[in-house]
Amino acid sequence: MNSWLIRLLQAALNNLILPAGIQPAVVMTKMPTNGWPAMPFVTVNLEIIQQNETAIGEDVVNPTQDNVWTLFATAQRTWRVTVTSPDAEERDFYRDTLLSILRILDATVFSEIGLNNTHSLQATSYPVAKERDGRIPGFYCADIILDTDSSFATSVRTNYPIIVGVSPDGAYTSSNFTVILDPLNG
């Protein structure tokens, strides 16, 4: 679920005209495990997904001709976008830029993929340095929290009475299921 958001944010950052002293940033999905990448970098993670509402009649089986049906609900998704930089000015630049990009994406992209029922943004900035522990020079971070209330569709493929596959992202084609439950016929 994060890959599309990472690609959107990286594409937006790649097309920025950077002010003097601001280095290009890389967007990734997890913190590095083998040393640190060049700063600045941005990490994106879906922190929580929580079902809010379920439609009346969701449990009514109403499959298509190829035995696929989609269950719809509304869910709250919370993403954390973290900027890490060796410089407070650079951190602030990327924090403010990413806040603007996320607002633009809500109006242009999120509405096209069902992620725009409601949204909110929060941001906090902080230094990370422990001079007493000898951890200097340290670095600067900003966390942006993006909350959306949006569609949460799950598609189910059956070979009655057996459930053959489940797609937690609401894939619309019978050949695009992420969880195959019938290894003999899947």
Q: Domain limits at 35? A: 2-180
The answer to whether position 57 is within a domain reads yes
Strand stretches in the chain, DSSP E: 26-28, 41-54, 68-85, 118-130, 135-159, 162-167, 179-180
Beta strands 41-54 and 26-28 are: parallel
At residue 138, the 3 state secondary structure works out as: strand
State residue 55's pLDDT score: 63
The answer to whether position 186 is within a domain reads no
The answer to whether position 185 is within a domain reads no
Q: What is the share, in percent, of the chain residues with pLDDT greater than 70?
A: 72
Given a cut of 60, whether residue 176 has pLDDT beyond it is no
The answer to whether position 140 is within a domain reads yes
Q: How many domains does the chain have?
A: 1
Q: How far apart are CA 127 and CA 100, in angstroms?
A: 22
The answer to whether position 38 is within a domain reads yes
The answer to whether position 72 is within a domain reads yes
| Tokens representing residue 5 in the block | 């958001």
Pick the range with the lowest mean pLDDT from 112-116, 124-128, 139-143: 112-116
CATH of the domain at 155: 3.30.70.1700
The answer to whether position 20 is within a domain reads yes
Q: Are 12 and 101 in contact (CB under 8 A)?
A: yes
State residue 1's pLDDT score: 53
Which DSSP category does 47 fall into?
E
> Cα dist. 32→37, 78, 110, 130, 147 in Å?
7, 22, 28, 20, 25
pLDDT band at 42 (very low <50, low <70, confident <90, very high): very high
The answer to whether position 92 is within a domain reads yes
